[in-house]
């Protein structure tokens, strides 16, 4: 029985594919984007988040056999060095300040949750979206989820960075209705500096998807100091124009929600730029829209 590591199942999503959708977030990602807003999805291993603002200082977590949780002057101190991620502290936490990110689930367990909203998919043209992390990083599990969704008549979409072997992609392609495909940075060295990998494999896979005939929505995060420039904007339009199965360009404004998550995971914040003011992408949308016949939106 195939199992996978899932860190969230988000229901009633309206921004991750057509209609009302259920997003299944799988752990693990081969990229290390500086601005990542889901750092709990980077590792394939289970993580434990400590959210200080929720802690009420009750001290129930100090039952930890490894002494990971202590109270110092009324404040909770989490020593992660000895943590085995057993989850016992989470069971004791009444304030939900300790949370587990990543649990093993079977395909059937996931599909049971996905199917619970089937009536909304039927009415809205929605379905299941795999997200992450990078869903195809857990390729066997992701493909089985996609296959089972199609067997049950559920529309499928995938949010993807595109970094995987063409063998993995070819196995998944028959079961995906829409690719929400990230186009992050223009320039080979620039892409490596910002994400940790060269874009060659990503662009090759994008071409393969286009040749296969599956619908593609280009997801383009606009990140201050990284890709907020005319060179990148022109490249987005040129790419969309060249690939006939790109139906839309979706611009995504940078936000700082990932910073608190890094701290909650005991990690160092990797990107410290401030989020731009609301409306900053309006002229960007107009600039790109003037260069392409494809629809350009802001999410």
Average pLDDT, the chain: 96
In 95-228, DSSP assigns E strands to: 98-101, 103-106, 127-131, 155-160, 178-182, 215-222
Least trusted range by pLDDT, from 177-181, 264-268, 290-294: 264-268
In 79-202, DSSP assigns E strands to: 98-101, 103-106, 127-131, 155-160, 178-182
Q: In CATH, which of 3.20.20.70, 3.90.1150.10, 3.30.70.3280, 3.90.550.10 is domain 3-45+102-298?
A: 3.20.20.70
Q: Per-residue pLDDT tens for 147-163? A: 999 999 999 999 999 99
State the span(s) of the chain assigned CATH 3.30.70.20: 47-100
Confidence of residue 74 (pLDDT cuts 50, 70, 90): confident
Q: Once rounded to an integer, what is the mean pLDDT over residues 264-268?
A: 93
CATH domain 47-100 topology = Alpha-Beta Plaits (3.30.70)
In this predicted structure, the answer to whether residue 40 has a pLDDT above a threshold of 90 is yes
State the span(s) of the chain assigned CATH 3.20.20.70: 3-45+102-298
């Amino acid at each position: 029985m195939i199992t996978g590591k899932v860190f969230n199942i988000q229901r009633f999503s309206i921004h991750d594919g057509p209609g009302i959708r259920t997003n299944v977030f799988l752990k693990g990602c081969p990229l290390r984007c500086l601005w990542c807003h889901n750092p709990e999805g980077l590792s394939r291993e289970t993580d434990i988040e400590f959210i200080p603002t929720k802690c009420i200082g009750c001290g129930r977590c100090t039952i930890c056999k490894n002494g990971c949780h202590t109270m110092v002057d009324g404040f909770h101190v989490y020593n992660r060095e000895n943590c085995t991620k057993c989850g016992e502290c989470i069971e004791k936490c009444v304030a939900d300040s300790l949370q587990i990110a990543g649990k093993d689930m079977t395909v059937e367990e996931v599909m049971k949750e996905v199917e619970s909203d089937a009536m909304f998919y039927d009415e809205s043209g929605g379905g299941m979206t795999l997200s992450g992390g990078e869903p195809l990083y857990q390729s066997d599990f992701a493909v089985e989820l996609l296959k089972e969704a199609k067997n049950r008549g559920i529309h499928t979409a995938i949010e993807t960075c595109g970094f995987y072997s063409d063998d993995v992609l070819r196995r998944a392609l028959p079961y995906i209705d829409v690719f929400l495909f990230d186009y992050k940075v223009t320039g080979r060295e620039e892409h490596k500096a910002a994400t940790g990998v060269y874009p060659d494999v990503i662009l090759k896979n994008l071409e393969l998807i286009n040749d296969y005939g599956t619908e593609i929505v280009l997801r383009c995060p606009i990140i201050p100091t990284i890709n907020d420039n005319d060179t990148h904007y022109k490249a987005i339009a040129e790419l969309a124009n060249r690939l006939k199965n790109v139906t839309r360009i979706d611009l995504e404004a940078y936000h700082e929600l990932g910073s608190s998550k890094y701290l909650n995971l005991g990690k160092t914040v990797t990107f410290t730029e401030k989020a731009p003011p609301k409306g900053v992408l309006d002229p960007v949308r107009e600039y790109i829209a003037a260069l392409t016949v494809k629809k350009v939106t802001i999410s």
